[in-house]
Amino acid sequence: MRENQYLVDDLTLNDSWRMFHIMAEFVEGFETLPEVYPAVSIFGSSKTKPKSPTYKATVKAARLLVENGFNVISGGGPGIMEAANRGAAEAGGKSVGLHIHLPNEQKPNKFANVRLEFKYFFIRKVMFVKYAVAYIIMPGGFGTLDELFEALTLIQTKRIRYFPVILVGSKFWNGLIDWAKETLIGEGTISESDFEIFNVVDTPEEAVQIIKRRVVL
């Protein structure tokens, strides 16, 4: 109820006052997140359970990133977000949680040692991109796909610098990739070279090795 009221109150603002809220979120992010450079943003389902192989793989990936000089950014919630923050925090790194206020969103996880709160998705997405040197995409739902395709679009159109975008779990991702190759390339809506923007791997070690090779610190 409190989260719902939070959003309802914002919708009652006129656009001029809403701009101050938007500016405040941008300012807080711009002032806080430069200290976490270099960081890797990790995405995935909020519904993934701690005993699942994907959760454990995410913890390992985050731990390996910290051991190799990177910090970790996640959405700050449960599931894969929690696993990312947990691995980074347990390895002694900066573990960033960019928590979003949603009507049905679960509570923030306890492993983020740098936390920001957002009402606006588009501001949060700017922070994911602006302060990341790579993306790791674990299995997830609409939100995960949204972050994936936004990053691919920005890189494809050269609106941002290239950085590694790595999908972990070929069994999960291959159906989507096969469809894109058959349908999108078949219809001429993307080109074959667009598949060079991202990589598909099966282990945390492979993901971190790609980042180490391609990111110059």
pLDDT of residue 1: 44
**Exposed/middle/buried for 97, CB within 10 Å: 0-12, 13-18, 19+?**
buried
Q: Using pLDDT thresholds of 50, 70 and 90, give the confidence band for residue 12.
A: low
Tokens linked to 13: 């603002």
Percentage of residues in the chain with pLDDT exceeding 90? 86
Q: Are the C-beta atoms of 65 and 88 separated by less than 8 Å?
A: yes
Mean pLDDT of 78-100: 97
> DSSP labels for 78-137?
STHHHHHHHHHHHTTS-EEEEEE--TTPPPPPTT-SEEEEES-HHHHHHHHHHT-SEEEE
Structural domain for 47, as ranges = 2-214
Of residues 76, 9, 91, the one with CA closest to residue 44? 76
Of residues 110, 119, 102, 94, the one with CA closest to residue 33? 94
How many domains does the chain contain in total? Answer: 1
Q: Are the C-beta atoms of 125 and 144 separated by less than 8 Å?
A: no
Q: Which residues contact 173 (CB under 8 A, 6 or more apart)?
A: 139, 167, 200
Q: Are the C-beta atoms of 73 and 40 separated by less than 8 Å?
A: yes
**Can you give the CATH number for the domain in which 90 is found?**
3.40.50.450
Average pLDDT, the chain: 92
Mean pLDDT of 187-196: 94
10 Å Cβ neighbour count for 112? 27
- Which tens digit of pLDDT belongs to each residue from 140-183? 999 999 999 999 999 999 999 999 999 999 999 999 999 999 99
Mean pLDDT of 30-45: 96
Alpha carbon distance 117, 67 (integer Å): 27
Secondary structure element (H or E) that encloses residue 41, with its range: strand 39-43
Strand partners for 99: 117
Strand partners for 73: 41, 96
Percentage of residues in the chain with pLDDT exceeding 70? 93
Q: Using pLDDT thresholds of 50, 70 and 90, give the confidence band for residue 9.
A: low
**Amino acid found at 125:** K
